[in-house]
Amino acid sequence: MQKQGDILRNRFGAPTNHLYIAAACLCLALIAPGQTTHADSAQRLEALRALDDSLEAAPDKREIRTIFDTAYGYLTGEGGKGNVVAGVAMMEDLADQGVPQAQYVLGLVYSDPSLRQLDFDRAVRMLRRAAGQDFPPAYAALADLYRGGAGGVSDPEEAWRLYEKASRESGKIGTHGTYGMAVMLLEGIAVGADEARGLSLLEEAVAAGHPPAELVMGRIHLTGDVAGSPDFEEAARWLERALANGVSGAALDLGRLYETGQGRPEDARKAAELYRRAADAGIPEAQVRLARLYEEGRGVERDVDMARKLYESAAARGVTAADASPLPRSQQASRQGADGDGEREGVCAAPGNCQGDPRLYGYWYLVGEDGSTSFDESYGAEALHVDGRLATIPRMKSGDMEPSTGTRMEVEGSVARFRYHETAEAPDGRFSFAFQDDDTVVFSNDEGDFVYKRMPADKHLHAALLRLALTGEVESYRRANAEDFFGDAETVLVDLRNGDDRVALVHMPGARFKGALRRDGTAWGIPLGANVMAFALRQGQEAAYFERVAREAAQPIAPRR
């Protein structure tokens, strides 16, 4: 064998939907950042009525209420009179008069890309003014901005203080404060990681009926960040629950599950519907995924012009096709032949849906010609992904080494066909295979028999490096002098293909890495196993690129056995 304008994005990719966080229902369902750009009339009217008490207590309450109602109608389009510019101007007049409700609303407006009024500095100033008047909804909204770091606005310590302050309020504001604290504890932002307390607070928010917490719970199961391995069916249940409760961001993740057949039956039409719902809510990654379906004619009638428009819309929000989360990659590989020229059969498209014996997929090494079965004496190690991708890494020696990642495997019954693409003249290889036991498989052709043993389970660093190689983004790797980096921890330095980006894979026996490490809202450490962490080393390394590659490498490569 060979080779979300997402304003408040965290590890779970979830911009916060402010519709759920204020005692006032956060009056503008329309302008909930990144989640919902359209709310039905009942939601809008309910949200508006919820502001009655606070507005009635304001000076000159009748005049203020009239102006506020009119401005609100302009912003939401209530009664068919949508005019964002006019609504903003009227809210600005009220804000200048010191009306905290108007200051709060403008904080949301200026932080929502869909309204084309983006000004994060002004959003922060408005929310700080409202919070300074002890207007509780502003605590949580300002904390979200400080935690998410959008537009360069980042202050994790202040976000934690505001979430704590909000958590002491009653009702939905208090629940959102609890939710924000949970996410920061799970991510280890500002206060250090505390998984047990974070999960406890998240469950508290879920029990209080906070839909964004349901979304985060779904994404925890989707990524396996806490449990150690993904549970797609459980993830789907939580995502469906969040979506039913109005969190449009859940439609993106649920669509990915339907597209790949993970946790839900593979259904491109259903995936398209869900992507469209998320795209309509202004989530750029959903626009990219829907564009792909239009481009390929899957689940929708092929429409290249529509695909182009969606790609352009997402690009205007800073998201390209390459930035989209890699979860459906196995499905992409199974749709195309290795030469990109049409459908192919016999390839495992997703975990639990493999052609051939599912025991094939995982980590292996070739037994030496002398009959030695020692892993340390083997040529190297190989990983066979459920989608047919194959990566090989030579045994680690001194100096630079390069992985082999140009081969794909197709299986039909007990025959495996390898398509080699590292050189144009390389012929395809056909082998029969048979298992001697669960951990030994023999591939045979006219040239002889090739015996493979399953890689020992304690080779965590090799497994992490192989998963990273499967992304196709590894240029070379080498062993590091441990004392120069992480003490006595075994370390491999990996150069990625994106310029000078470099990653350190660090094996720390006994450690249990279950969540990403973040600094100022940016991931710089992502676990690739229970005790292996991938660290971004280079200053200025493109955060989105590192996180995309590491997240893909963290995905399981084989069905559960």
State pLDDT tens for residues 174-206: 999 999 999 888 887 777 778 888 889 999 999
496 lies in the same domain as 532: yes
422 lies in the same domain as 513: no
Contact 419, 1 (CB under 8 A): no
Where is the domain boundary, 454, 472, 488? Answer: 454
- Please give the Cα distance from 396 to 505 (Å, whole number): 13
Contact 525, 517 (CB under 8 A): yes
Residue 426 is classified by DSSP as P
Of 366, 341, 521, nearest in space to 441 by CA: 366
Residue 228: give the domain boundaries.
223-323
Of 99, 104, 105, nearest in space to 87 by CA: 105
Span 78-89, mean pLDDT? 72
Of 34, 77, 41, nearest in space to 247 by CA: 34
Where is the domain boundary, 323, 348, 382? Answer: 323
Residue 437 CB neighbour total at 10 angstroms? 9
- Please give the Cα distance from 507 to 510 (Å, whole number): 9
Contact 523, 516 (CB under 8 A): yes
- In this structure, the dihedral spanned by the alpha carbons of residues 12, 352, 322 and 421, taken in order and rounded to 10 degrees, is 150
Pick the more confident residue, 91 or 556: 91
Which residue is listed with tokens 């409202």? 130
pLDDT greater than 70 at residue 43: no
pLDDT greater than 90 at residue 339: no
**Does 503 map to a domain?**
yes
**Does 344 map to a domain?**
no
**Does 560 map to a domain?**
no
310 lies in the same domain as 231: yes
Span 254-279, mean pLDDT? 92
Count the domains in the chain. 3
CA 418 to chain centre: 32
pLDDT greater than 80 at residue 451: yes
Q: What is the DSSP string of 475-496?
A: EEEEE--GGGTSTTSEEEEEEE
Residue 116 is classified by DSSP as T
- Please give the Cα distance from 486 to 227 (Å, whole number): 26
- pLDDT for res 461: 86
Mean pLDDT of the chain: 74
466 lies in the same domain as 450: no
For the ranges 22-36, 160-174, 439-453, the lowest mean pLDDT is seen at 22-36
* Residue 554 structure tokens: 């963290």
- Please give the Cα distance from 538 to 195 (Å, whole number): 28
pLDDT greater than 60 at residue 424: no
Query: H or E segment at 554?
Result: helix 543-554
pLDDT greater than 80 at residue 284: yes
Of 24, 17, 253, nearest in space to 148 by CA: 17
Residue 358 contacts by C-beta under 8 Å, 6 or more apart in sequence? 348, 352, 558, 559, 561
pLDDT greater than 90 at residue 375: no
**Does 192 map to a domain?**
no
CA 226 to chain centre: 14
Contact 18, 264 (CB under 8 A): no
- pLDDT for res 542: 64
pLDDT greater than 90 at residue 275: yes
Pick the more confident residue, 189 or 16: 189
pLDDT greater than 90 at residue 529: no
- pLDDT for res 498: 74
- Please give the Cα distance from 262 to 324 (Å, whole number): 18
289 lies in the same domain as 232: yes
- pLDDT for res 338: 27
For the ranges 35-39, 157-161, 362-366, 385-389, the lowest mean pLDDT is seen at 35-39
- pLDDT for res 290: 93
Residue 427 is classified by DSSP as P
Pick the more confident residue, 560 or 113: 113
Confidence bin at 226 (pLDDT 50/70/90) = low
> What does the pLDDT look like over 465-475, one tens digit per residue?
998 998 888 88
- Please give the Cα distance from 360 to 233 (Å, whole number): 24
Confidence bin at 379 (pLDDT 50/70/90) = confident
487 lies in the same domain as 419: no
pLDDT greater than 80 at residue 369: no
Which residue is listed with tokens 């639990």? 352
Contact 131, 140 (CB under 8 A): no
pLDDT greater than 80 at residue 343: no
Burial zone of 30 (CB within 10 Å; 0-12 exposed, 13-18 middle, 19+ buried): buried
**Does 122 map to a domain?**
no
**Does 440 map to a domain?**
yes
Q: What percent of the chain has pLDDT over 90?
A: 20
* Residue 123 structure tokens: 């959003």
443 lies in the same domain as 510: no
Pick the more confident residue, 70 or 172: 172
**Does 119 map to a domain?**
no
Of 292, 316, 324, 320, nearest in space to 5 by CA: 316
**Does 445 map to a domain?**
yes
437 lies in the same domain as 367: yes
229 lies in the same domain as 295: yes
Residues in the chain: 561
Q: Domain with 284 in it: what CATH number? A: 1.25.40.10
Where is the domain boundary, 417, 437, 454? Answer: 454
pLDDT greater than 90 at residue 459: no
258 lies in the same domain as 292: yes
> What does the pLDDT look like over 537-546, one tens digit per residue?
765 556 678 8
244 lies in the same domain as 294: yes
* Residue 224 structure tokens: 């396996």
293 lies in the same domain as 370: no
Q: Helix axis angle, 211-223 relative to 171-187, nearest 10°?
A: 20
- pLDDT for res 485: 58
